[in-house]
Amino acid sequence: MNTLFETFIEQLSSIKSPQEFDLQVTTIKEALNNANVSYKIIANIDTQSYYMKNNFSVKSTTENMQTAKDALIKYFKILQYDTKQVASDLSQESKLLILKQILNNFYMFLEEFTERPLNSRAGIKPEHIAAIKIKNEYDVQHILYALLKPLFPEARLEVTNDTGFSTVRCDIWLKNLSVVIEVKCSRKSMTIKNLTEEIASDMVHYTANHIFFFIYDKNKIIKNPQAFKDTYEKNGNEKTTYIILHQPKIL
């Protein structure tokens, strides 16, 4: 998103005529709409880019446009460096897409963190990294929560939800998005039947609108990942379930 704002600033900086400015503002709004940015940012762009047009003076109109252009550039610079404000203005759909991308790319974080050679001047040594091993779902939950927290500060661990007739405790809860992330990690004693029974039970009990099953299948008990996803991913009016599956190359 920061790169997008930087591009807008560069494009606006070279504009000299009101006609160019009006066309560029329209293009910017279309780009942000395609990026699913919330109406708040679009509305602010309308406010910042407005200027009085003097039908009797091109010079006056151009001066007014220049003032609006400077205000719009200033606004984009604020958004460029104020990531918290940008995040708060993103639509729920955009936040869900960001969340899904982070979960799907979890393995990339692990590979960069554990496999990339350390700088020789680093205080962290290779043996320190090598000592970090994922043994169970609590390890996965710990790492995943730390990865999500900077982008989703509202994230909470081990939250108890009332289902109406009993209580269930979800692994990670994002209240603002009505998202539950349930972490699963396979083990030698777990069968595919155990895993599917747990997922079926969680689907019924959780009342959140979006349920993510984050499965770290370290023992590779799921033999056909695509068929598994097709079976358990559901898109409903009141509740949508997602299957995020990772089967590490190195156990």
Domain boundaries along the sequence of the chain: 2-89, 92-246
Does 85 score more than 70 pLDDT? no
Highest mean pLDDT among 126-130, 211-215, 236-240: 211-215
How confident is the prediction for the chain on average, in pLDDT? Answer: 87
CATH, domain range 92-246: 3.40.1350
Task: Tell me the whole-structure pTM to 2 decimals.
Answer: 0.64
Dist CA 167 CA 237 (whole Å): 23
Residue 78 in tokens: 């604020």
Highest mean pLDDT among 1-10, 72-81, 154-163, 174-183: 174-183
pLDDT of residue 5: 84
Q: What would the mean pLDDT of 162-172 be, rounded to a whole number? A: 75
Dist CA 242 CA 180 (whole Å): 10
pLDDT of residue 20: 95
Q: How confident is the model at residue 251 (pLDDT cuts 50, 70, 90)?
A: very low
Q: What would the mean pLDDT of 9-29 be, rounded to a whole number? A: 93
